[in-house]
Amino acid sequence: MKITFLGTGTSQGVPVIGCSCAACTSEDPRDDRLRSAIHLDIDGVSIVIDTGPDFRQQMLRHQIKRLDAIFITHEHNDHVIGLDDIRAFNFLQRTDIPLYAEERVIKALNQRFSYVFGYDKYPGVPKVTTHTLTANERFSCHDIDFMPVRVMHGKLPIIGFRIGGFSYITDASLIDDASKELIRDSEILVLNALRREDHHSHFTQEQAISMAEELRAKTTYLTHISHHMGMTQDWQQELPKSVIPAYDGLVLTID
Ligand SMILES: [Zn+2]
Ligand SMILES: [Zn+2]
Ligand SMILES: [Zn+2]
């Protein structure tokens, strides 16, 4: 499996419009962060987790020419609003694209993109077939096994995913014991770490580090980073060896 970090920034991205802080004016390419999403290539099956506002740019940057499924973690704008741009794949592949999400999320997408889900569709609108996920219940997509893992994002229950030795958790602020069991001992764990100061719906850097230790991941990559973290070259020095800042364009492979 090949994992590509399409975006590793929080909802505003980095740099933030109009900001002249160290991270936003940094020349280190790691400090250029599009909104969080990843792409998985599993034996030629092409899957994205989340289609945020930078989806089009992310597909172009990584020359992704095929899309076999879309997984959505939750309905916040920075994870879904790029959905319209899947049209390019509909045209290329001449098929609907399967979209997997929880029932509440599919309802929210229905409201946000009523023209996609309505009966009297304008020609050329995005075409998806929806598949309802239940948290902590395994599902199969293109004959590959996935586990949607319940995590809490403030008061909002959302999902992350485990695929073999790889776990992807974004926008979490709390993981209960049942879910910890599902993602324990990952070879690669991705966790969100917004900033150093407390936040009501995201792990801080410190919380992400202690969660990574508790979950005994071999290597943990931090994502959904805000400009409040400062420059990557500075905050990476505060991390233990097994915890690494993710950055846009980072590619990992795992058996
Ligand atoms: Zn987010
Ligand atoms: Zn800034
Ligand atoms: Zn969110």
Q: What is the 93 CA–ligand 3 centroid distance (Å)?
A: 30
112 phi and psi angles, rounded to 5 deg:
-70, -35
Mean pLDDT computed over 66-75: 98
What is the side-by-side order of every strand in the sheet holding 243-245?
Answer: 139-141, 144-153, 156-163, 166-168, 188-192, 219-223, 243-245
pLDDT exceeds 90 at position 90 = yes
- The pLDDT-based confidence of 124 (bands split at 50, 70, 90) is confident
pLDDT 10s digits, 137-181: 999 999 999 999 999 999 999 999 999 999 999 999 999 999 999
Question: Other CB atoms closer than 10 Å to residue 110's CB: what's the count?
Answer: 13
Q: Nearest CA to 179 among 209, 216, 223, 135?
A: 135
Domains of the chain, each with CATH number or no CATH: 2-253 (3.60.15.10)
> DSSP assignment, residue 40?
E
Q: What is the 87 CA–ligand 3 centroid distance (Å)?
A: 24
pLDDT exceeds 90 at position 118 = no
Q: How far apart are CA 26 and CA 229, in angstroms?
A: 12
pLDDT exceeds 80 at position 16 = yes
Q: What is the 11 CA–ligand 1 centroid distance (Å)?
A: 5
Q: What is the 74 CA–ligand 3 centroid distance (Å)?
A: 7
What is the pTM assigned to this prediction?
Answer: 0.97
pLDDT exceeds 80 at position 242 = yes
Supply the pLDDT for residue 99.
98
Mean pLDDT computed over 219-227: 98
Supply the pLDDT for residue 150.
98
> DSSP assignment, residue 121?
P
